[in-house]
Structure 1
Amino acid sequence: MNRKVVFRLVNDLVMTVLMLIAMAYYITGNMIHEVVGVVVLVLFIVHNFLNRRWYKAILKGKQNVRRILQIGINLLFLVTMVLMMTSAVLISSNLFPFIPINNDMTLRQIHVQTAYWGFIIMAVHIGLSWGMIINSVRRMTGITGTSRIRTITLRILALLIVAYGVHSSFEREIGSKLIIYNPFGNWFNDDSIIRFLIDHLSITGIYICGTHYALKFIQGQERRAVQKI
């Protein structure tokens, strides 16, 4: 398999996991939070460098529904990440303490809420490319044929992940965190980094699966419309 493709997959996987670890601020502490954040920034820059040709081709080619959605989500993700990273540097107390900020409450609100919005948009971003990711993994593992049992098993697994993700989303009040900033936090006393990752990865599963199957439905509708012409 192409080494560049493997490197991209590994880079994106590590960046996704580290973004979730960075969100576990009250578990890891501020120093780890800031160090992980810097690593995420580097990986995000690498991600965009590796996909720099995509930016050059934004206005080229046929603009179908999938492409329009992809452009909108990708640009929104870029803006969200820039806001989150910029506010992070400005409110840093360990790695960049020399930047003078007198009243940083607004910046903290921007940082926290863009982090949660970025978390959701990232999952949708992955969902838009899920078919390509699966095909890359299939080539990497040498899986060429189809299997009804494997397909059913994976779909049941996806359903279980989504079900647990919905439960975790309500339990952790993700919806309210997207619109309301709580400076005192809202964490469980018995929380651990492992449970945090499992819960939030399952929440990403909601948006990855939802986006992937919604896109398949739209593409199916487009093909049927073309066949009728």
Structure 2
Amino acid sequence: MNRKMLFRLVNDLVMTLLMLIAMAYYITGNMVHEVVGVVVLLLFIVHNFLNRRWYKSIFKGKHNLRRILQIGINLIFLVTMIVMMISALLISNELFPFIPINNDMILRQIHVQTAYWGFIIMAVHIGLSWEIIINSVRRMTRITGTSRIRTIALRILAVLIVAYGVQSSFEGEMGSKLFIYNPFGWFTDNSTLRFLIDHLSIMGIYVCGTHYTLKFIHKQQKREEKQSEIA
């Protein structure tokens, strides 16, 4: 693996973990939340700079169902992140208190709701690129061959992560957080580590769901291409 790809993976991994820490607002406190948020903003800018060629290629080439989904999700994720970060700057109490906002209740609601939706969309965004990520990790670890045992073990692990993620999603009332704004916050007694594990498992639901949906779409497209060739 070249250094540029390794840097991209590290940048995205750190950004993902920090976004999850930023979501643990009632565990970390406001100052940590804002500092982490600024770091996430910088990493997000780096992420988009490294992937700037993708924006130039949006209207080029063939647009099949997979690519249309990828473009749509990526653009929605971009807009969600921009709205979340702008609202964060406007309601900042620690790092940017000089920004005059008289009534920030609406901005707080926008920030919180876009944060939770951004969390889900981010997981789908990762799922769209999961095959690329896995191939990059294989090259980095020099795993070139295939192993049926390894494949089965990884699929069992994926099922366990999804199962735990579903449980964590219900226990954490994730559905309510997406559609209902609670001005008093969603309090939790979990530690930061438990919070990260729970939310990583919830991400696993959407990463796995997106990845295997794309594999299904790819197989269907191949089947249709073969049928058209036979006809």
TM-score by length of 2: 0.98
Once the two structures are TM-superposed, the CA of residue 186 in structure 1 deviates from its matched residue by 1.9
Structure 2 match to 1:175: 175
| Cα-to-partner distance string for 1:63-117 (whole Å, 9 max, x where unaligned) | 0111100000000000000000000000000000000100000000000000000
Looking at structure 2, the residues matched to 185 and 39 of structure 1 have their Cα atoms a distance apart, in angstroms, of: 23
Q: What residue is the counterpart of 1:91 in the other structure?
A: 91
Aligned to 2:211: 212
Partners of 1:25 and 1:178 lie apart in 2 by: 16
Question: What is aligned with 1:47?
Answer: 47
Q: Match of 2:160?
A: 160
Aligned to 1:27: 27
Offset at 1:22? Answer: 0.2
Residue 132 of structure 1 is matched in structure 2 by: 132
Q: Which runs of 5+ in 1 are unaligned?
A: none
2:130 and 2:190 map into 1 onto residues whose CA distance is 30
Encode CA deviations 1:171-206: one digit per residue, 9 max, x unaligned: 000011111000111222x31100000000000000
1:149 aligns with 2:149: yes
One-letter amino acid matched to 1:123: A
Hey, what does 2:118 align to over in structure 1? 118
Q: Distance in 2 between matches of 1:219 and 1:65?
A: 9
Residue 16 of structure 1: aligned partner: 16
* Secondary structure, aligned partner of 2:79: helix
Tell me whether 1:223 sits opposite 2:222 in the alignment. Answer: yes
Query: Cα RMSD over matched residues?
Result: 0.5
Q: How far apart are the structure 1 equivalents of 2:65 and 2:14?
A: 29
* Whole-angstrom CA distance in 1 between matches of 2:185 and 2:6: 37
The separation in 1 between residues aligned to 2:162 and 2:184, in whole angstroms, is 29
Whole-Å separation in 2 of the counterparts to 1:192 and 1:185: 16
Stretches of 4+ aligned residues off by more than 4 angstroms: none
Q: State the secondary structure of the residue aligned to 1:178.
A: helix
Alignment deviations for residues 28-54 of structure 1 (CA, whole Å, 9 cap, x no partner)? 000000000000000000000000000
Distance in 1 of aligned mates of 2:29 and 2:186: 15
Q: In structure 2, what is the equivalent of residue 196 of structure 1? A: 195
Letter in 1 for 2:176: S
Unpaired runs of at least 5, structure 2? none
Q: Which residue of 2 aligns with 1:74?
A: 74
Distance across 1 between alignment mates of 2:140 and 2:195: 29
